[in-house]
Amino acid sequence: MTKIAPAVDPVRSARPGGVGPARRRRWGRDAALPYLLIAPAAIVLLVILGYPMVRLAVLSFQKYDSRSLFTGESPFVLFDNYVDVLGDPEFWMVLWRTFAVTLLCVGLLMSIGFLIAQLLLRVSDWARLTLTICLVLVWAMPMVAAALIWQWLFQPQYGVANWLLTQLGIFGDLRAHDWFSNPVQALALITLLIVWKGLPFVVLTMYAALGQIPSSMYEAAGLDGASALATVRHITIPMMRPVLAILIVLEVIWSVNSFTPFWVLTQGGPSGQTTTLAVYSYTTAFSANDYGGGAAISMITVGLLAAFAVFYVRRQVKQVDVR
Amino acid sequence: MSGMGYMRRRRAVANTIAVAVAVVMVFPVYWMFNTAFKEPGSIMSQTPQFFPWPISVENFSRALDSSNFWVFFRNSLVVSIATVVLSMAVALGASFASARFSFIGRKVLLVVLVLVQMIPGSAMVIPLYLMLRQVGALDYLPGLVLTYLTFVLPFAIWTLRGFVEGIPVELEEAAMVDGLSRFGAFVRVVLPLLAPGVVATSIFAFINAWDDYLFAYVIMRSQENYTLPVWLVSFQTSEGVDYGAMIAASAIFSIPVLIFFLLVQRRLVAGMTSGAVKG
């Protein structure tokens, strides 16, 4: 059998801390203590998170422009910001673009991540260590540095990518090809960056989850003569379902919220054609000085993400129940 | 015997693929160091040079010499350390309470902690900008620290809570049976065991603050208040990019994070997955 080295200690995670509700209650004799311990965190969270979130929601119903910054006047305009945003064809282009990029990012991350995680189970220790170290290095790269390196890799005249692709000769002579002047190609490179940077987390999480699947299940499947594909379909994926579900939710949220790679590489250009929701709310608020509009776009984004997360998690839970 | 050979061949194929994947994945990181250590003259060459030979640190010295590098470095360091210290001071008690006590609002707190980590920074930055502007804290390092707490604090509480749960509660009970107060048990028993968790969480918190671009970009408007990421990106938009210096500066910026990550990666994976599965 393949040797499995779980990254998560199975004993510990099977018995998370060993503090059941009963134990917790016994510890809760001192009624005021937990509240005292929580209070500083609760107060700070309310001030720096709670208040801004309320402010964001209120702002999305106000007219707040560069003049408001100085006069402090921000009249309520009911749903005007939302009407403006939803009535703007630009918004629908941005929404569609965000959807496409997210779908691509998450699809690639999950499928490539799954394959590499499976690969990690099947290699010798030295190869696993090598690959893991490389993955951790990629994971550790700050996004700003990674985006700048991307720019250098794909620099038209001196970038190594254009040179390599020219040597391969599949796409013809690419020396002097400027990827970032073409919106589709720019989006492809940004997607590639997000996938590259996101893969280590996906792979290592999936690998840890794979290590949790009891090897007896695979042995039983082997005795029953199940094919490799059937084993993946009927054992691996169902056993990993909770982790896969959480990964998908997280990756969707992170892709939609991704700002730095877009901003550093294209600033949403050329002429707004690589703008996604996160960049759009930023430029609406800070470049066009329409803070109310920016807030409305943010609220719509958060609403869409929340709806997706709730819907998706519900469905996952239901599927588990039915089985 | 032939079965063994088959297995061995399969493993050799898997190892080869793994090495290929590792090379492809790490290539951009390698290319950063390769470019940074090249002689400035050989960076802009029609046929790229795959090894930095003769090796040179001139790109680094140009990056370090550029005006105000040490100011930006200091800004980044001060802001990140302040964020870590403040968030840990607040998070330690909250994480202990939410792992060990039952109290009204515990479930709500835990759910809120998970949810707020999913709010986009580009959404938070709008009200935070207006708030800081109102109190005159724009372009001011402590103001930036406050904005960092919005994402570091929930993360720190959540992660530390996982580490507290990993410590068997029996140890505290035994200490209390032996006559220690609850506070004494916490200081003498829990804290020493929690220390590695605190270190790991601090490092992640530090990295989160160190890496931030969006908040610093929006809030720090005057050049002397830039943090390293903001400066790095401004490098790129300034005319006639000096790629050698820019990549060397990126390397200097990344090296602390790369080292930290390698040090704590085991905990990182375990912590994140246990949090993810339980959450």
The model's pLDDT over A242-255, given as tens digits with 9 standing for 90+, comes to: 889 889 998 999 99
A207 inside domain: yes
Prediction ipTM score: 0.89
Q: Give residue-wise pLDDT tens across range A259-317.
A: 999 999 998 888 889 999 999 999 999 999 999 999 999 999 999 999 998 888 777 66
How far is it, in rounded angstroms, from Cα B117 to Cα B150?
9
Q: Give residue-wise pLDDT tens across range A165-187.
A: 888 888 877 778 888 889 999 99
Please state the rounded mean pLDDT for residues A214-236: 86
Is residue B238 very low, low, confident or very high in pLDDT (cuts 50, 70, 90)? Answer: low
Terminal CA-to-CA distance of chain B, rounded, Å?
47
Give the domain range for residue A148. 88-322
Q: Give residue-wise pLDDT tens across range A92-145.
A: 999 999 999 999 999 999 999 999 999 999 999 999 999 999 999 999 999 999
How far is it, in rounded angstroms, from Cα B122 to Cα B100?
35
Q: For B15, which of A8, A49, A124 is closest by C-beta distance?
A: A124
Q: Is A71 an interface residue toward B (CB < 8 Å)?
A: no
Contact A153 B31 (CB under 8 A): yes
Computed over every residue of chain A, the mean pLDDT equals 85
Is residue B272 very low, low, confident or very high in pLDDT (cuts 50, 70, 90)? Answer: low
Q: State yes or no: cis peptide before B256, omega within 30 of 0.
A: no
CATH of the domain at A199: 1.10.3720.10
pLDDT recorded at residue A282: 95
pLDDT recorded at residue A4: 28
The full DSSP string for A210-261 is: HHTS-HHHHHHHHHTT--HHHHIIIIIHHHHHHHHHHHHHHHHHHHHH--HH
Is residue B4 very low, low, confident or very high in pLDDT (cuts 50, 70, 90)? Answer: confident
Q: B274 or A116, which is more confident? A: A116
Q: How many CB pairs under 8 A join A and B?
A: 320
pLDDT recorded at residue B279: 29
Domain ranges of chain B: 2-59, 67-238
Is residue B270 very low, low, confident or very high in pLDDT (cuts 50, 70, 90)? Answer: low
pTM, two decimal places: 0.88
Closest Cα of chain B to A160: distance in Å? 6
Computed over every residue of chain B, the mean pLDDT equals 87
pLDDT recorded at residue A20: 52
Q: Return the CATH superfamily for domain B67-238.
A: MetI-like (1.10.3720.10)
Structure tokens at B194: 């929690």
Q: Give residue-wise pLDDT tens across range B201-227.
A: 898 899 999 999 999 999 998 888 999
Nearest CA among A202, A187, A192 for reference residue A250: A202
Is residue B66 very low, low, confident or very high in pLDDT (cuts 50, 70, 90)? Answer: confident
Contact B31 A199 (CB under 8 A): no
Nearest CA among A50, A55, A82 for reference residue B133: A55
Closest Cα of chain A to B140: distance in Å? 16
Q: How many domains does chain A have?
A: 1
Is residue A8 very low, low, confident or very high in pLDDT (cuts 50, 70, 90)? Answer: very low
pLDDT recorded at residue A74: 83
Phi, psi of A95 (to 5 degrees): -60, -45
A48 inside domain: no
Contact B11 A123 (CB under 8 A): yes
With contact defined as beta carbons under 8 Å apart, do A239 and A217 qualify? Answer: yes
Contact B262 A201 (CB under 8 A): no
B-chain residues within 8 Å CB-CB of A290? none
